[in-house]
Structure 1
Amino acid sequence: MLIGYNPWWNTGQVPKEFTRPVKRLGFYEARKIFNHPSIRRKIILSGPRRVGKTTIMYQMIEEQLKSSASKSIIYVSFDHPMLKLCDTGQILEVFQNNIASEHDQVYLFFDEIQYASEWDAWLKMLYDQHPNYKIMATGSASPILAAKATESGVGRWTQIRIPFRQQGIREHNVE
């Protein structure tokens, strides 16, 4: 199942239908934090469904593939019925033992993280125990995300709100 979500493990690239030629302003804000050389923060993209959070995440993966091994990057969508039932630790163990075992730097992309059991505890543990992990997550349940971020995420992650795209506002074109 993880292979289906991570086609770049075989092809080295994100399928074009997963990304868009236009990048939202949230992409640039997230990239600046994600790639900051000295500030270590995890990123949570929040906002209602259908505002482009997952697209921003795929654009970040596409950008990361320019400088990182394809098998050092994992994408997990927790709104999939089977993955909702999986423990985050088991997913990461499968990834580390079978895919990314030789990579020091690891990039974790978790979509709809609010569906993962004890997601806030997992993000805290990953932050505290794995300084070489870079993590980006999305979530559609903003009040839940905000409450959990306040409890255990202070200083560990930054929440970026992705608003509905408004007409008349120009975004940055990739090419």
Structure 2
Amino acid sequence: MVAGACKSSRGGEKSLQRLSSNADADDIRQSVALMVHTTNLEKDMQSGATYKACFQGTNLRRTEIACMAFLSQVTNGGALVYSAVYFFQQAGIKTDASFAINLDGKGIAFIGTIISWFFLPIFGRRTIYLTGFTVLVCALWIIAILACVPQFATIKFVQASLCLVWLGSYSMTVGPIVYAIVAEI
């Protein structure tokens, strides 16, 4: 930032001296030289970069993976589960209970996200992603099948529990892992 803002390295050194505490002149010169070098490297790397390049060769595959990974977050049933209070009320659960279950779900999602931090180095991205989607699809199918059978008082709570299972699974797997996949491709 300092190197790019100043026309000369002397101006950069002067600004860095003013901004830093008691640093000696050699350290400041080295810091400015590193900034200038980094800026030049970034300019060289970006000189051939175009949007067209995203759709050619191996970059096309990376673009497809990134788009499908982000698309998977929209198409995986989150609209149902993240609108849980409304869904629970439609299933016949009282408003207060629906809100309480939904609040529990947010806590489960938070804990699931923290658990995902430990899963990634142990299991790897692909295993977590595919296992997560398998659990999500199974939970959604069971919720749908239960909606088609004759309604008993307990079925609505089983569906609510499966929504919480979905939420926990999503938060441990697909939700956060998508960002790791996209960042690393």
Instruction: Give TM-score scaled by structure 2 length.
Output: 0.22
* The structure with more helix, counted as a fraction of residues: 2
* The structure with more strand, counted as a fraction of residues: 1
Larger radius of gyration: 2
